[in-house]
Amino acid sequence: MERAYLQEEHDIFRRSLRKFLEKEAYPNFDQWEKEQLVPRDFWKKAGEQGFLCPWVDGKYGGFNADFGYSVVINEEFERVGTGMVGFGLHNDIAMPYIASYGTEVQKKRWLPGAITGDLVSAIAMTEPGAGSDLAAIKTTAIKDGEAYILNGEKTFITNGSAADLVVVVCKTNPQADPPHRGISLLVVEADTLGFKKGKKLDKVGQHSNDTCELIFEDARVPAGNLLGEAGKGFYYLMENLQQERLMVAIQSMTSAEVMLELTIDYVKQREAFGRSISQFQNTQFKLAEMKTEIQIGRTFVDRLIEDHVAGKDVVTEVSMAKWWTTDLAKKVAGECMQLHGGYGYMEEYEIARRYRDVAVSSIYAGSNEIMKVIIGRNMGL
């Protein structure tokens, strides 16, 4: 189907990106999965080719690309593997906070490196005792002269080990009532005294997605690293979560499409009882059902992308898309593995990795249960 927000220039960009990934990513991805890290030299190569933060203003080194380019980048990186999500987080989740709320000094300091791959970014929201309930975070940043003294612990941080700078969600006013009014955003650089990166987390899937704990023990962060106004962090997060959850929906739809493609190829080749299993009615029905649901999801997500580009408030609809598409991707993963039979349970087949990788999508960026709470609240319930 035609996608109105993608033009010929986006198609040219996609072909260029796909050629780059076929040379630099696909042949190395299995090794990155084993090493649990995408190497820095790949980040720099991606930056050299213009695949990092292309939306940034030209005066900082970007080329003012529209959101369609972000869609293309996230889709193509997802096709390599879900473990590449760190690039989408850097491009379209973490760095937009600096572009949106940073001072001119902050933008000049951090945006150019984020474009070249010399700076890898992360955002630290989740804590061992606080996930979707951001108002419950315990990390504090207390003003001390021209600095904030940061204490706390963050977990499940994508790009955590590699990050050169982290947007940290913290409380600059722990006594605020209600608590969310005390939340602020601080940019913490990797060489900050008192900032330590914990062990890499041993995840079920997305192994090349570098994920770790971050620890702050009396870390002294310059007051000039505050993003926007103190106490406004919660509102900044709410403004940007629409895009974050839309990115998850885009990745989920791409993942589902890839899994279906893999399975169609497999069932055409695999034979049972003297014919390919693609000729069995059950196989055809399963594939037809998945194809239909994927098309429905793609149509909905594409419409939301158009609305997002137009600057519309589609928080409710994006919440719907986030839970529905991630649940769909998990369903497709299970059905596709089943159609692979015993081989689907073997690591040498891509569907096994896809099955593992997609499991967490209904949890991160706000659990699907929280998405339904948001929808219900916006229904006036």
pLDDT tens digits, 318-329: 999 999 999 999
Residue 130's pLDDT is 81
Whether pLDDT at 186 is above 80:
yes
Collapsing DSSP to helix, strand or coil, 276 comes out as: strand
Is residue 245 within 8 A of residue 88, CB to CB? The reply is no
Provide the CA 182 distance to its chain's centre, in angstroms.
Answer: 26
Q: What is the mean pLDDT of residues 3-13?
A: 94
- What b/e string do you get for 90-117 counting C-beta neighbours within 10 Å, with b at 16 or more? bbbbbbbbbbebbeeebbebbbbbbbbb
Residue 133's pLDDT is 78
Q: Which of 33, 213, 244, 317 is catalytic?
A: 244
Is residue 84 within 8 A of residue 25, CB to CB? The reply is yes
Work out the pLDDT band at 129, boundaries 50, 70, 90: confident
Q: What is the mean pLDDT of residues 121-146?
A: 91
DSSP state, 5?
T
How much of the chain exceeds pLDDT 70, in percent?
100
244 catalytic? Reply is yes
Q: Is 334 exposed, middle or buried (0-12, 13-18, 19+ CB in 10 A)?
A: middle
One-letter amino acid of 74: N
User: Which single residue is written with the structure tokens 């850097």?
Assistant: 90
User: Which single residue is written with the structure tokens 């689907």?
Assistant: 344
Residue 333's pLDDT is 98
Collapsing DSSP to helix, strand or coil, 145 comes out as: coil
Q: What is the mean pLDDT of residues 297-310?
A: 96
pLDDT tens digits, 68-111: 999 999 999 999 999 999 999 999 999 999 999 999 999 999 99
What is the reported pTM?
0.94
d(CA 127, CA 141): 15
d(CA 77, CA 37): 15
Residue 193's pLDDT is 96
d(CA 259, CA 255): 6
